[in-house]
Structure 1
Amino acid sequence: MRLALRLTGILVTIASFIFVFSSIYTSFGQVTDDVLSFNFICVVGALTLLYAAALQLVGLAWYRMIVAVEPDSISKPAALSIFNRSQVYKYIPGNVFHMVGRYALAKAAGVTHGALAFSQIGEIAVISVAALLVAALLSTSTLHAHLGKTSIIFFLCATITALVVAVAASSRFRSALNKKSNVLAAVHVFILYVLFFLLNGVMVVALLATSHDYSGSIAPIIGIASAAWLLGFVIPGAPGGLGAREAILIAGMTAIGLPVSTAAAVAIGHRLSTIGGDALVAVIDSVVRWRSGPRR
């Protein structure tokens, strides 16, 4: 089963890269002009800072799930430090290595296996459902108007994927969600993830506004960005969802009538911003720990 999933992930990643490179190649001149423009570079820099801030919402959600099971097991600053430090691990081949690294660092800090297992499975389940909800609510109607039954098939597959993940995690949740306070914690976590996806979508909208005179609704753009994030998250073997997310961004934006060159430039800018954000939080954490010295 694992081999089949790994092979599927590899095939999807290869297909995604081919699609992305083909999209860039067909309009290379325009894509280059957009990406290398001064305004675009400035926006990418600003969005790097925004993404670094948005990541703290995901870090807070992870911390919230840990303390829902094991209160006082770790402080919020320590949890965010571990989260930020491990973000770059996702670029080690395979997009779950940041979770593995985060688990190891938190275990070394004294958090129990039970709390970490719940937080890890909870993250996978709740963040998948949150991404799907944002994508479905904001982009389904627009994509359906352009793609017809194809959009329904896509979101049906995404829904099944999210539900399978959630059901697989349900046994872990059942033991931890037997208290009202823990149910409230799960709701809090869900809200944090939704806010993260809204900010992630705003990043794509900002890049689009910089490279194209777009006058349409921003809702489907945010929804497409969430769908892209979800696919990149569930595809095994793609470092940080590399290739898969860009493919969905380009396919989704061109499906609603945007030029391929614009969609490709936005996808590249978004990837640069997210890589920059991941690297930035890791560097800031390293500097803070170095300045703190032996006391940490």
Structure 2
Amino acid sequence: MAAPKDYRFLVRWGGRAIVVVALIFLAWKAREHWAVLSTWSPTPRTAGLLFACSVAYGVGMMFIGESWHQILSGVAEGRLSRFVTWPSFGVTQVAKYLPGNVFHYVGRHVWLKQQGVTHRAALTATAWEVVLMASTALGVAALLLMFWPIEIASLPAATVSLAASAVAAVLLLVLILVQVAGRRISRLQPFVPAQTALVLSPFALLGFFGLQGTVFYLLFHAVDATPVVAVAAIANLAWLVGYATPGAPGGIGSREALLVAMITPLAGPSNALILAALFRLVTTLGDFVCFALSSLVARAAPAERATAA
């Protein structure tokens, strides 16, 4: 039987292998369509669109900050202050671009420890954040594909819609079961956020994933392509793949590879490559907008303690 260290080794190197394969795929596609890609250049209108989308994305990331606030408040002792929880998310978020894709969690934990938040609360909240973010991203994509289905991987649109409906139903059922178990099983209560947190956190995340899909939808105008509503679902699915790839800094490589593969039938191979690059640019700049906003929040109350109202 493999030791835990062996599993961590396999996960780490498995994630790196995925990134390498994804980058090779992107390089191959770029080389194949370089004749068209080399002729594209942003217009002033495109630059303005990219700037607006970057700012909107950065502001929208504060929805994740609010989700984090609700989760952490739901497992910690006492009500936590947003002057602590928001910066603990936004200021440390840019560390996800360091190799390993885990240093933003390390930084967040250190930040909260300095504010008196316990190790158990921070670790429990982090685990719940991962689960809720992945579930909400998948749920939003499922709902969009349920009502605005497209053909994916040769599957008819009707089949995609049916599968998306099943995914959405399962996610809703799991959320209900978790809430019931948390209330009735005493041993689980310290590790299950309050019911209010399990409701408000996904609602905040709905704001972020809705905005992220809208941003990607608008980026189609940068390449003069006509978007469909389903591209918002594709953006969130690609985000989820990047988020779940172990060791990929900021999900780089795997996210773009899935975007290119799924967008190519809708926008063409050259436009798909450009859109993937523009989406990466917008989200990276948005992370730094979120960092700036969170830094301002932290400075607004330098003496604020974690348990302040």
TM range (shorter): 0.7 to 0.9
Counterpart in 1 of 2:82?
Answer: 76
Asked if the contact 2:217–2:228 (Cα under 8 Å) also holds between the matched residues in 1, the reply is no
Change in CA separation of 1:98 and 1:33 when aligned onto 2, cut-off 3 Å: farther
What's the CA shift for 1:266?
1.1
Question: May I ask how many residue pairs the two structures share in their alignment?
Answer: 280
Q: Distance in 1 between matches of 2:41 and 2:93?
A: 25
What's the CA shift for 1:13?
0.4
Counterpart in 2 of 1:222?
Answer: 232
Structure 2: 5+ residue stretches without partners? 1-6, 183-187, 305-309
Counterpart in 2 of 1:116?
Answer: 122
Once the two structures are superposed, residues 109-131 of structure 1 have per-residue CA deviations (whole angstroms, 9 ceiling, x without a partner) of: 11112221221000111111111
What's the CA shift for 1:88?
0.7
- The one of 197, 213, 222 aligned to 1:210: 222
Structure 1 residue 259 corresponds to structure 2 residue 299: no
Change in CA separation of 1:284 and 1:145 when aligned onto 2, cut-off 3 Å: closer
SS at match of 1:236: coil
What's the CA shift for 1:260?
1.1
Indicate the percent of aligned positions where both proteins have the same amino acid: 28
Asked if the contact 2:84–2:298 (Cα under 8 Å) also holds between the matched residues in 1, the reply is no
Once the two structures are superposed, residues 226-257 of structure 1 have per-residue CA deviations (whole angstroms, 9 ceiling, x without a partner) of: 110110011001000001111111111113x3
SS at match of 2:73: helix
Asked if the contact 1:65–1:119 (Cα under 8 Å) also holds between the matched residues in 2, the reply is yes
SS at match of 1:63: helix
What's the CA shift for 1:85?
0.7
Change in CA separation of 1:285 and 1:126 when aligned onto 2, cut-off 3 Å: closer
Q: Where in structure 2 are the equivalents of 1:35-184 lying within 5 Å?
A: 36-72=42-78, 74-139=80-145, 142-144=149-151, 147-148=154-155, 174=182, 175-176=188-189, 182-184=194-196
One-letter identity of the residue aligned with 1:67: S
What's the CA shift for 1:178?
8.9
What's the CA shift for 1:100?
1.9
Q: Distance in 2 between matches of 1:23 and 1:284?
A: 37
SS at match of 2:61: helix
Q: Distance in 1 between matches of 2:301 and 2:71?
A: 29
Counterpart in 1 of 2:256?
Answer: 246
Once the two structures are superposed, residues 62-101 of structure 1 have per-residue CA deviations (whole angstroms, 9 ceiling, x without a partner) of: 1101111225453112211221110110001022221221
- The one of 14, 18, 26 aligned to 2:32: 26
Counterpart in 2 of 1:233?
Answer: 243
Q: Distance in 2 between matches of 1:35 and 1:95?
A: 31
Larger CA deviation: 136-145 vs 2-11: 136-145
Counterpart in 1 of 2:205?
Answer: 193
Counterpart in 2 of 1:275?
Answer: 284
Q: Distance in 2 between matches of 1:238 and 1:177?
A: 32
Change in CA separation of 1:89 and 1:148 when aligned onto 2, cut-off 3 Å: same
Asked if the contact 1:13–1:244 (Cα under 8 Å) also holds between the matched residues in 2, the reply is yes
Change in CA separation of 1:146 and 1:212 when aligned onto 2, cut-off 3 Å: farther
Change in CA separation of 1:40 and 1:22 when aligned onto 2, cut-off 3 Å: farther
Once the two structures are superposed, residues 43-78 of structure 1 have per-residue CA deviations (whole angstroms, 9 ceiling, x without a partner) of: 111111011111100011111011112254531122
- Taking structure 2 as the reference length, the TM-score comes to 0.80
Structure whose alpha-carbon radius of gyration is higher: 2
Structure with the higher helix share, 1 or 2: 1
Q: Distance in 2 between matches of 1:36 and 1:82?
A: 35
Once the two structures are superposed, residues 1-35 of structure 1 have per-residue CA deviations (whole angstroms, 9 ceiling, x without a partner) of: 11111121111101111122222222235335445
Asked if the contact 1:91–1:239 (Cα under 8 Å) also holds between the matched residues in 2, the reply is yes
Asked if the contact 2:216–2:232 (Cα under 8 Å) also holds between the matched residues in 1, the reply is yes
- Taking structure 1 as the reference length, the TM-score comes to 0.83
Larger CA deviation: 235-244 vs 281-290: 281-290
Structure 1: 5+ residue stretches without partners? none
Larger CA deviation: 34-43 vs 273-282: 34-43
One-letter identity of the residue aligned with 2:261: A
One-letter identity of the residue aligned with 2:255: R
